[in-house]
Structure 1
Amino acid sequence: MMDSPSRPKLFDFHGVSMTSSFTDNWETVQNFQARPDDVVIATYPKSGTTWVSYILDLLYFGQMSPERQNTIPIYERVPFLEITESGPNIHSLIFLMSLPTTPRLIKTHLPVQFVPKSFWGQNCRMVYVARNAKDNMVSSFHFARMNSYIPEPGDWNSHFQKFLAGKMLFGSWYDHVNCWWKKKQTYSNLHYMFYEDLVEDTGREIDKLCSFLSLSPSAEEKTRVMSEVKFDNMKNNAMTNYSAKPGMNFEISPFLRKGIVGDWKNHFTVAQNEEFNEDYKKKMKDPTLQFRTEI
């Protein structure tokens, strides 16, 4: 059996835990020239990024170019702004620069303070998706187990402690969701949405997205989008399930695993839940930002 490539290590980068895959091309990313019609999908990893990327891609281009849906994987349709695939020259920005679509849909996991300035300067629309910390922790654990491009999670208990300490790729969940929420107060072109709301009523959340983006799909179009973005359909769709992406071991865990709210109950011990809840109270001080851990 071939040895798996050695996993990258986290290091402190301007106060945020990162790996070199996301910092190698830092200057190029920071100097990225946004266009006023760019739409950015921003998330802390494992918060529904692919789901919302696919929803937006279908809303904008589903009718216009159906062959795009069947032949181009989602990670090429919605490129990942800051990733360097292998070596400083092979970069997601190459896909981004050559995107034939208007608007360009761009994905990022960057904390708000790292987002290239031109996005704010051009007043680009930003869609931020947040997911409750307990389910996010579980999802990121299984993702790290199967993805050789990110650091080893260790066992569940050590992952749990790392998450509480913010020693995660892209830093602390608490900082990420709070700072993007705070940005919403001063930047009006930011739509902040919750994974739990999307699971509870996908149609309602798609309506809110359409209203934010000034889109008006027909009833028929909306029905089609709703069907395409159902979890099982995405899980079985080779263009959205990441099965063509190297470095991911689907025998350990699929990229799209369960897509539910409340799976944390299958992982947290009673003691861990108590420890988590105490820690959460200390870190989540803003009463206007509320998450649901079950629906």
Structure 2
Amino acid sequence: MGDDKRGETHDTALLRSMVDRGLITPELADQALSRSQPDASAVDLLIQEGYLTKHIVETLLADTKDPTAIADFKILGKLGQGGMATVYKAVQLRMHREVALKVIDPQFAINKEFCERFIREARVAGQINHPNVITCHDVGQDKGYLYMALELVTGGDAAQVAQQDGGRLSEARALRVLIDAVRGLAALTRAGLIHRDIKPANIFITEDGVAKLADLGLARPSEDSERMTNAGMPVGTPAYMSPEQAAGEEAIDCRSDIYALGATLFALLTGQSPFQGANALAVLA
């Protein structure tokens, strides 16, 4: 496809996005455009011929604008954005309940296998009902959006709270956070889950000072051989990983999460992570 984006139609813009993501070649996009008709767009032709699926097209269409509503959730505003997802403040209309709506980035949501595993693992996490674990209210797909509705906690995370207190917490407050986190971890362990990414930023604090383990996006059943990540690849945050997790070992268990809790306590008390380096590889080394 040419580089001139002036006067670009919606169909052309969508095809360009597919080319940029490596889903189709520029030549295939140009051929489809040349054969398109008023009653059969280039994208329609590529779906009919098996080059694309409706799931891929819906996901890419969802990526072109910020949503105002997803399924039964009305979007109120953006709370934050990470490498894998965007989190919105939303209200679940049927329940009149405010939630944190986590919407997965299309580069992941476009993969049907990823979506299926994400939903399965979220359902396992949703079975946990504990005061020290963020509740997962719902998970699903709607018009190309892959989402998870989570309990909304407005007090910030432990890293933010420590920053507000001058960069570190007092011993008493840090221990209260840790005790709550240990209780939450015990609930995960009883459910057969490993968190795999415990760190100060993944421990949320309520307005009443209760700490809750959050971001179960990397959590998986401890006996699960079919998961979203590749075997042999370390998953989590390098500075808080146990040695076996950093080595990419498959047979990790709750002891890796306990290690991460210890590293988290170190960070909350000292104001710095236990291991530092110029980049992730340097930290892992």
The question of a shared fold, defined as TM-score above 0.5 by the shorter chain, is answered with no
With normalisation by structure 1, the TM-score equals: 0.27
Structure richer in helix, relative to its length: 1
Bigger share in strand: 2
- Report the TM-score, using the length of structure 2 for normalisation: 0.28
